[in-house]
Structure 1
Amino acid sequence: MQRISRAFQQAREAGYAALMPYFTLGYPDAPTSLEVIEAMAEAGADLIELGVPFSDPLADGPTIQHSTHMALEKGMSVRACLELTAELRRRGVRQPFLLMGYVNPILAYGVERYVADAARSGADGLIVPDLPPEEAETLEAACRDHGLALVYLVSPTSPPERVALVAGRTGGFLYLVSLTGVTGARSELPPGLADFIARVRQVACTPLAVGFGISTPEQARLVGQLADGVIVGSALIEAAGRDGHPAQAAADFIRALKQALHSGG
C-alpha cells in the first residue's frame, strides 16, 4: 500500500497525474502479455493494473471481454496469473501492481489463500469491481493482514452517502468510474465528469483515479487536469493488437499518454 501512495505522490510532485494502464494477463498468450507489461513499465507507467481473466466480466466491454476470453482459452487461471505477476517482479518491473479481478474466482481459490499468494507474487493491491464494501469484510481483513490495498469503485450515479462510505473504506486510491456503462474506448469524455470528480474530492482522503472510456492522449490530458490518476485499458489493448508488434505498440501508446499528461500538468 505504501508503494501505491508513493507512486501517486511522486507523480503529483512532478506535476502530472499518475498513469495506470490495464492489460489482461495471458493475452494474447502468456509470453506476449509479459513482454507488453514490461514494455509499458519501461515506457513510463506509474502503476499497472493486471487483469485476471474471468468468464463473466460484467464491468467490461467488448475489447476486454475478448482479451479475457482469449486468455482463458490459452489456459490462464488464477494460479497462472499469480505466477506471471511473480515473473514480472523477477524481470525487474518495479511499479505497483493492482490485480483487477472478479469475486467468484477469488472465492473459488480461497480468500485468504488468494491474498497471501497475491502478496507473495508481488502484488500491491486488489480491485474487485463486483464486490461491495458490505460484503468485503473477509477480504478486507486478509488484505490488512498481508499489507495489500483493497480498492473500491464509485460511479456518477453513486449518491453522496454511498460515495462517503466507499471513500472511507478504499485503500491506496479511489477508483472513479467515469460513466454509466462498461469499459471501452469512447470518442469523447462524458459530460459532468469534472463535477463528479469535484463532488468525490470533497469527501475522499485518498488519491482519485479515473477509468472507463479514456481512449486518447488528449482525453488523458483533460482527465489528468482534474484527477490524481488516469486509467487506460481498452484503448491500450486495441493498440497492442493492431499489428504484429504488441509490445512496441503498447510502449508507443504509453509514451503518447505520458507526454500528454506532462503537457497538461
Structure 2
Amino acid sequence: MTRIDDTFARLRAAKRKAFVTYIMAGDPDVATALEVMRGLPGAGVDIIELGVPFTDPMADGATIQLAGQRALAGGMTLEKTLQMVRDFRADDNQTPIVLMGYYNPIYNRGVDRFLADATAAGVDGLIVVDLPPEEDSELCIPAQAAGLNFIRLATPTTDAKRLPTVLQNTSGFVYYVSITGITGAAAASAADVAPEVSRIQKASGLPVVVGFGINTPQAAEDIASVADGAVVGSAVVKLIGAGRPVAEVLDLVRALADGVHRG
C-alpha cells in the first residue's frame, strides 16, 4: 500500500472525493514553490502533483509551459526537484506526491538511480506523459518494482480496443484527460466525462481522477460529482505566474478543494 492507496482508501471511507493540485517545481523560484507546496495540504489538497520542468513540454498549454520556462531560467533541475520533495517530507510524511513530467530528464539521470533517489526522497508515484504502454519495460515496470505507483493517462480518444493496453500496468489511480488537446485549453463537461469515468472504473478497478479544463470551484464540484476526484493545475499556476502572494494562491486552492469535497 502506497500513500496514494492509503489516501483513496481514507477518502472512500469518508465518502469524499480526492482533490489533486499541480504546481511546477521551482516556479517562480524554489523558496516560493516550496512555500506553496507546504501550504497545499492545509488548504485541502489530498495529492500533490509536482511538475518537473522540461524544455519541450508537448502536452502542456501556455500556462504550464511558461511555468517550466521560469523554473528552468531560475536553474531548476531534476535533482533540485527531488530536494524539494525531501524538504517537504521533513514536515509532512502523509500527503502523496506524484512527479509529473517527461522521460528525458529521467533517462539522462539513469532509471535505476532516479528510482532509488525518488523513493528515498519520498515520491509516491509518477506520471510520464511521453512513455506509452509499449515502453513499459523502460520505466513503468521498474518503478512498480521500486514501490512507486505508475499513473497512466486515458483520454477521450482511448477506445475500447486501446484501453486494456493503457491500463495493463497502471496503479494508484487513472488520470482521465477530460478534453482533447493541451492543458488549460478548454472547459471540462461533467456530462461528457461521466460515462467515460464509469467505463474506465469498470475496466481498471482503480479510482479515476479527472483533469484538464477545471478552473473554478463549481467546475471542480461538477467533475468530482461524477469521478473519484479532480485535478487542477493551470488555474493555480496562472496565479503563481502572475506573482500573486502565496496566501492568495492558497485561498484559490482552498475554494477549489471545497468544491471537490462537495462533489
TM range (shorter): over 0.9
Which residue of structure 2 lines up, in the alignment, with residue 65 of structure 1? Answer: 65
Q: 1:190 to 1:57 in 2, by over 3 A?
A: farther
Q: SS of the residue aligned with 1:94?
A: coil
* 1:93-104 paired onto structure 2 within 5 Å: 94-104=94-104
Q: Which runs of 5+ in 1 are unaligned?
A: none
Deviations 1:160-218 (A, max 9, x none): 12112222320111111111100116445376222221222221111101111111111
Q: Do the aligned residues in 2 keep the contact of 1:185 with 1:234 (CA within 8 Å)?
A: no
Using the TM superposition, give the Cα deviation of residue 230 of structure 1 relative to its aligned residue in structure 2, in angstroms: 0.7
* 1:15-94 paired onto structure 2 within 5 Å: 15-92=15-92, 94=94
- Cα RMSD for the two superposed structures: 1.6
Q: Which amino acid aligns with 2:251?
A: D
Ranges of 4+ aligned residues in structure 1 off by more than 4 Å: none
Which residue of structure 2 lines up, in the alignment, with residue 120 of structure 1? Answer: 120
Which residue of structure 2 lines up, in the alignment, with residue 233 of structure 1? Answer: 233
Q: SS of the residue aligned with 1:169?
A: coil
Which residue of structure 2 lines up, in the alignment, with residue 14 of structure 1? Answer: 14
In structure 2, what is the Cα distance between the partners aligned to 1:243 and 1:108?
32
Using the TM superposition, give the Cα deviation of residue 262 of structure 1 relative to its aligned residue in structure 2, in angstroms: 2.8
Deviates more, 1:89-98 or 1:50-59: 89-98
Which residue of structure 1 lines up, in the alignment, with residue 254 of structure 2? Answer: 255
In structure 2, what is the Cα distance between the partners aligned to 1:248 and 1:185?
26
Q: Do the aligned residues in 1 keep the contact of 2:50 with 2:98 (CA within 8 Å)?
A: yes
In structure 2, what is the Cα distance between the partners aligned to 1:185 and 1:9?
32
Using the TM superposition, give the Cα deviation of residue 131 of structure 1 relative to its aligned residue in structure 2, in angstroms: 0.5
Q: 1:262 to 1:191 in 2, by over 3 A?
A: closer
Q: Which runs of 5+ in 2 are unaligned?
A: none
Which residue of structure 2 lines up, in the alignment, with residue 217 of structure 1? Answer: 217
Q: Does 1:204 align with 2:199?
A: no
In structure 1, what is the Cα distance between the partners aligned to 2:94 and 2:202?
32
In structure 1, what is the Cα distance between the partners aligned to 2:189 and 2:59?
18
Using the TM superposition, give the Cα deviation of residue 39 of structure 1 relative to its aligned residue in structure 2, in angstroms: 1.1
Deviations 1:127-156 (A, max 9, x none): 001101111213123213321111111110
Deviates more, 1:57-66 or 1:232-241: 232-241
In structure 2, what is the Cα distance between the partners aligned to 1:225 and 1:191?
10
The total of aligned residue pairs comes to: 263
Q: Which amino acid aligns with 1:252?
A: D
Deviations 1:31-77 (A, max 9, x none): 00000111112212101000000000011000000000000000011
Q: SS of the residue aligned with 1:127?
A: strand
Give the TM-score, by structure 2 length: 0.95
In structure 1, what is the Cα distance between the partners aligned to 2:243 and 2:169?
41
Q: Which amino acid aligns with 2:258?
A: Q
Q: Do the aligned residues in 1 keep the contact of 2:28 with 2:240 (CA within 8 Å)?
A: no
Q: 1:59 to 1:190 in 2, by over 3 A?
A: farther
